[in-house]
Structure 1
Amino acid sequence: MAVIDTLGLPNTKGRRPLIVAQVVDALGTGLFLPFAVVYFHAAKGIPLTTVGLMLSAGALLSLPAGPLGGRLIDRIGPRRVLVASNLIRVLTFTAYVFTDTPWQLVLLVTATMWGDSLFRPAVFALVAQVADDGHRARWYAMDRSLRNAGIGAGGLLGSTLVGWGGTSGYTAVVALNAVSFLLAAGLVGTWRRSAVPRAAGAGAGPAAGTAPAGDAADRQAGGYREVLADRPFLGVLATVWVFALCDLALTVLLSAYVIEARGLPAWQPGMLFAINTVMVVLAQTALARAVERYRRPGVLQVAAVLWMVSFVVIAAVPGDHVALAFGGLVLGMVVFTVAELLQAPTSSALIVGMAAGHLRGRYLGMEELMWSLAKVLAPTVFTWLLARGAGLPWLVLCLCCLVAVVLLQRLHRVLPAHVQRETVDA
């Protein structure tokens, strides 16, 4: 146990099927994620511009999924919603194989994104139920580390299949992704909360797959009206949106900036992504453990400042000196990743800590909505800014982070101590 604690890992006894389900899910996601755009173009013969419109339409149509999923989580429990989200994606990825009509694919992409938007808050709510006291951030950190490792391994396998089989390889990738979601649904669906050993004196608590006892109180209190009346939480949501934009800069902005705006070699973004993935896999849980004694708003402020530093470093790299530019980009990526490691588990633990048990799903559903909005806006906003100046998107992100620092400083004063810093078991 001493080694496990040093690495920042939580106690997993009785909860290993949930962990295996997450790894299987991540492997399947990693199979498809690098080829999401290319699949529809290469295997279905759809023009790239049409593929872009399909994905944007799906993102817009799936915006309500987070809030509606939060309501479902509070009513029927996170485990059932998690199983449903996986089964939705089993159906959509199976259907991808049998259709190449754009309007049908738009419907399938939308359904897939609904499944994704149900999945994330359900996972966070289930972790909140099964984690030991004081170790929620560790669970979120471990989940993130495992997902990155699984996605990386899945990406390598997917690349092998596509390189070996061409169009048939793309079909294999999609089919294996559907199988992975089915396996994950089976693991979660057959797991029972009774497998988790409880500390002496701990109450039985609600079953992980059932609605909390406070559901009647929730209906009386007004559901989302009560959530939106929580003014400190609205401030947290604003920071979630800022941090989502920062995180999306890695996948949406960085490659275009390095290759198009700075004219640097196309291999550099891939190396930067690899650095990010390795750091997340190796350091996420240990860093989460190192900061769990500090107040969460303060940890998030540090993350915001580090993001600003990384954006300044990345914006300053020269385009006429490849080696010097790569060194600056590596430094910027290391700082960026440390900010990411601090922010991701801390934000989730803060939101869960703020939520009353009978409203937890709705709080997490609103967090998912902020991420969905950022995903809709980021491609358009980032590319528009980049077209008007190589450093402009990084400057705007710095200003957004500064706003987040100010909002988090106010949260220091208004949030209760038990929300700012969860008590950690000795």
Structure 2
Amino acid sequence: MLAIALVDRTGSGLWASVSVSVRYFTYVSHLSVAQMGTLAAIAGAIGIAGAPLGGRLADRFSLTRVLVALQLLRALASFALLTTDNYVLLILFSAVGGFGDRAANVLTKLYATRVAGPDRIRYQTISRTAANADWALGGLTAAAALALGTTAAYHWLLLGDALPFVTVTTVTVGCGEPMPP
């Protein structure tokens, strides 16, 4: 799960930087500041529901399978953003992606905690440090693309966010199901 978190956060660092997503929606999708604010508020509010609802799903179904489904959901939401400039659809896809992101984040930690057992605190420390480094790496890469300022560069950033979700999905499929406490 540590490798999964590393790949995930590097890709997320490309897109989740506020300046990248805001510039994409204003420069590429031509949203106004008010529309961008509404999109961010709705996506954020729905994203908050991801953690508790993801936990409930993991209580009812295989944790590994729920993680796979959430990673695919995140990938589809990111890819879908490339397909439209329709405001309502951009809100919908952003909200779905935010929901999947929050749920997958919590469930990845749950999985790792179950596997790490008594070493979970050490694992969480390493995981958090690596995730921060990967966010920074993704952010630096995004900064280079922002310097270009082209629609193609923004599309590549969005693809760079989506493709790690696909990679993480394939790795997660091979993971065993951790035993609940």
TM-score, normalization by structure 1: 0.40
Match of 1:160 among 144, 147, 171: 144
> Percent identity over the alignment?
27
Moved over 6 A (4+): none
Q: Distance in 1 between matches of 2:59 and 2:79?
A: 29
State the 1:156 CA deviation. 0.9
Match of 1:101 among 86, 90, 102: 86
For 1:217, the equivalent position in structure 2 comes to none
3-state SS of paired residue (1:99): coil
What is the number of equivalent residue pairs in this alignment? 179
Q: Is the 8 A contact 2:47 2:101 kept in 1?
A: no
| Cα separation, partners in 2 of 1:153 and 1:64, compared to 1, 3 Å | closer
State the 1:39 CA deviation. 1.2
Match of 2:14 among 31, 34, 40: 31
State the 1:22 CA deviation. 1.2
Q: Distance in 1 between matches of 2:40 and 2:130?
A: 26
Q: Deviations over 1:252-272 (max 9, x none)?
A: xxxxxxxxxxxxxxxxxxxxx
Q: List aligned pairs for 1:24-423, cutoff 5 A.
A: 24-34=7-17, 35-133=20-118, 135-164=119-148, 166-192=150-176, 207-208=177-178, 212=180, 357=181
Q: Deviations over 1:21-75 (max 9, x none)?
A: 2111111011112212121111111112210111101222344332221111112
Amino acid at match of 1:172: W
State the 1:165 CA deviation. 5.5
Amino acid at match of 2:169: A
Amino acid at match of 1:20: A
3-state SS of paired residue (1:131): helix
Are 2:30 and 1:22 aligned? no
**Structure 2 residues not aligned, in runs of 5+:** none
**Structure 1 residues not aligned, in runs of 5+:** 1-17, 193-206, 213-356, 358-426
3-state SS of paired residue (1:162): helix
More helix by share: 2
Q: Is the 8 A contact 2:82 2:158 kept in 1?
A: yes
TM-score, normalization by structure 2: 0.91
Q: Deviations over 1:106-141 (max 9, x none)?
A: 1111101110121122012101211042x1111111
